[in-house]
Structure 1
Amino acid sequence: MAQTSSSIGSGPGLTEWLTSPPGRYLLEWEQARIDAHVADVFGFHALQLGLPQLDALRANRMPHRWLACAPGSLEGLAPTGLEGGADEGPASQPPGEVSSQFGPLASPGSVGPLQCDFDALPFPNHSLDLVVLPHTLELAVDAHHTLREVDRVLVPEGRVVILGFNPHSLWGLRQWGGRWGRRFGGSKAPFLPPAGELIALRRLRDWLRLLSFEVERGGFGCYRPPLASKPWLDRFGWMEKAGDRWWPMFGAVYAVSAVKRVRGMRVIAAAASKRTRKARSPAPAVASHTHRAGGDASARWIERWRRLAEEQA
């Protein structure tokens, strides 16, 4: 699988891991959560970056939706395009399969998803209303650069939805133990695919805050222990409700929705200069006329009293 300058596509082993019981369990939770995040986001242009196994935009109603993948990341996946039947809606697509709604929809003649480098998206500034990053930052070579590129293409008040693995969870602990065990000669492999770096939610919030994003909603999920067998995963199904109530911060995966805020400015220089000109302007002519009229009357009275005094003398 080819590696680009900004991402590792779906990552070595991630495609195979998503077909396993824990991978299907993860995709099922993420599909339900992402549908709730994007259903009420309105606009004209939406983009999903990476992870074609997840149909992140199926519940969104924007007229133009794209799926962008890194070059070479679609090897071994079913082809996408417009081959789906007219009666098959996007909501009927099961998680884990590539949806036929992408292609991109803005160009009806297209037969496949968009392939590009995530550090140079082929979209102009302030052109997208929604961007979904399903584990994209974890698999990116430079997560900061990818997030800055998303900030560039989003319109003011645009929304970004991010999915990521939580390192402070049972799955993260199992992944950490597997990596350290391999370094010391252990035979136990990591639970999650080895590619990528787990990003904590607090760290991600700091990155978003630096780019003037405001986190509006988020949550954790997948509280079952890291087990590879479906029957054992089903046995711990009770942990979903218990974890959501008693230890919500220790879910294996998180979903975050943030809005791009653009601070406005108010120009006050013109108003200040107007007040200055008003303060420095000369006194009204009416006041000076009143003063001169009063002085002439006094002079006339003085002249009259002087004449009366001379006549009596």
Structure 2
Amino acid sequence: MVKLLARRRTIPDPVALAPMLDDWMHSPLGNALIEAEKAQLAPVISRVFGYHMLQLSCSPGISMLDECPVGHKICFAPAWDPQRQAPVADNEALPLGTDSIDAVLLHHALDFTPDSHRLLREATRVLMPGGRLLILGFNPVSLWGISGLMRWHRQTPWNARFISRRRLTDWLRLLDFHVEKVSYGGFMPPLGHPRMLSQAARFEHWFDRLGNPTGAFYLIVASKQRMPVTPVAPRWPKLRAPALGAPLAETGRVASGRGTVIPMPPRKNLRQDDAGN
């Protein structure tokens, strides 16, 4: 039974997954989901500032950063496409410097990777301290999550991992992130019926006002709290200057180098000697 469930949850290779996920995202149901995600993301992404923003996605044909004011937007592809000409890289081994990106968006990237911990650690590595991490993922506690469990042949996107929001926030706290906001969206049923999809905006309006946590996706906004370690030089105590000598005592005694005291002759003897001379 365990082997059967594992076979049903097999995630295709990133090169093979990208065109399949792009095709589904451009379908009527996928397009309704993307519009709902952009509506949830718009007020957050419009307040992201900096020089560089990175989008990690298994669907490089979908851009979620159009409303972002950041000048330099980066989105990698798993394979070279002469039509898009996007840079090629592995999401779990990014060719970027540590602490070099102001904001990172994970657009269902954690849902379609066999090693979510590695991907999350790589996104944490490139994100600069104080930067923001935005995560869009499928919500297992939803009609979409139930639909994924009920489908015998889990084709894209129903072969996603559907990581729970609580589990993901626990991972973020272990990586020294502060979770600022969690919101939900995509309250339409997972059906491609045109009449049902025409009411998607109405579903979003009413269920979002009620704060319903059973949307098809969740949006997590977190900030990286870990600061770079700066080595601090030890503060050595100041040494006092060595004493050059000690003042003579009023008795006229002189101290030798070994700490002995040499008595001086009495003054009357000195006067007698002077008189004899």
TM class by shorter chain equals: 0.7 to 0.9
Other-structure match for 1:66: 74
Letter in 1 for 2:56: L
Other-structure match for 1:245: 209
- C-alpha distance in 2, partners of 1:194/1:261? 34
Cα deviation 1:59-98 (Å, max 9, x = unaligned):
22222211112226x6xxx923xxxxxxxxxxxxxxxxxx
- The counterpart of 1:118, out of the listed 91, 97, 121, is 91
**Deviation, structure 1 residue 18:** 1.6
Q: Is the 1:174–1:190 Cα contact (8 Å) retained in structure 2?
A: no
- Give the RMSD, CA atoms, in angstroms: 3.1
Q: Is the 2:53–2:72 Cα contact (8 Å) retained in structure 1?
A: yes
Confirm whether residue 153 of structure 1 aligns to residue 126 of structure 2. Answer: yes
- The counterpart of 1:15, out of the listed 19, 22, 25, is 22
The TM-score normalised by the length of structure 2 is 0.72
Paired positions, count: 232
**Deviation, structure 1 residue 23:** 0.7
Secondary structure of the residue aligned to 1:69 is coil
1:238–1:245 distance in 2 versus 1, CA, 3 Å: same
Other-structure match for 2:145: 172
Where does the alignment leave 5 or more consecutive residues of structure 1 unmatched?
Answer: 81-111, 183-188, 282-291, 293-313
Confirm whether residue 42 of structure 1 aligns to residue 69 of structure 2. Answer: no
Q: Is the 1:48–1:133 Cα contact (8 Å) retained in structure 2?
A: yes
- C-alpha distance in 2, partners of 1:54/1:10? 14
Cα deviation 1:20-45 (Å, max 9, x = unaligned):
22111101111222232221111111
Structure 2 counterparts to residues 118-267 of structure 1, below 5 A: 118-178=91-151, 182=152, 193-235=157-199, 237-246=201-210, 248-263=212-227
Secondary structure of the residue aligned to 2:179 is strand
**Deviation, structure 1 residue 264:** 7.6
Letter in 1 for 2:66: R
**Deviation, structure 1 residue 16:** 2.4
- C-alpha distance in 2, partners of 1:219/1:53? 25
Q: Is the 2:148–2:159 Cα contact (8 Å) retained in structure 1?
A: no
Letter in 1 for 2:88: Q
Percent of aligned pairs with the same amino acid: 34
**Deviation, structure 1 residue 14:** 2.2
**Deviation, structure 1 residue 193:** 2.0
Moved more, 127-136 or 27-36: 27-36
- C-alpha distance in 2, partners of 1:162/1:191? 23
Whichever structure has more helix as a proportion of its residues is 1
Letter in 2 for 1:148: R
Other-structure match for 1:98: none
- C-alpha distance in 2, partners of 1:231/1:137? 31
The TM-score normalised by the length of structure 1 is 0.65
Moved more, 256-265 or 209-218: 256-265
Q: Is the 1:9–1:70 Cα contact (8 Å) retained in structure 2?
A: no
1:198–1:41 distance in 2 versus 1, CA, 3 Å: same
Letter in 1 for 2:44: H
Q: Is the 1:9–1:69 Cα contact (8 Å) retained in structure 2?
A: no
- C-alpha distance in 2, partners of 1:21/1:63? 31
- C-alpha distance in 2, partners of 1:163/1:151? 16
Other-structure match for 2:8: none
Cα deviation 1:276-305 (Å, max 9, x = unaligned):
x9xxx9xxxxxxxxxx9xxxxxxxxxxxxx
1:68–1:266 distance in 2 versus 1, CA, 3 Å: closer
Confirm whether residue 79 of structure 1 aligns to residue 83 of structure 2. Answer: yes
- C-alpha distance in 2, partners of 1:61/1:140? 29
- C-alpha distance in 2, partners of 1:237/1:153? 36
Where does the alignment leave 5 or more consecutive residues of structure 2 unmatched?
Answer: 1-10, 241-248, 250-277
- C-alpha distance in 1, partners of 2:69/2:89? 24
Moved more, 235-244 or 145-154: 235-244
**Deviation, structure 1 residue 245:** 3.5
Q: Is the 1:167–1:200 Cα contact (8 Å) retained in structure 2?
A: yes
1:39–1:210 distance in 2 versus 1, CA, 3 Å: same
1:10–1:135 distance in 2 versus 1, CA, 3 Å: farther
Secondary structure of the residue aligned to 1:114 is coil
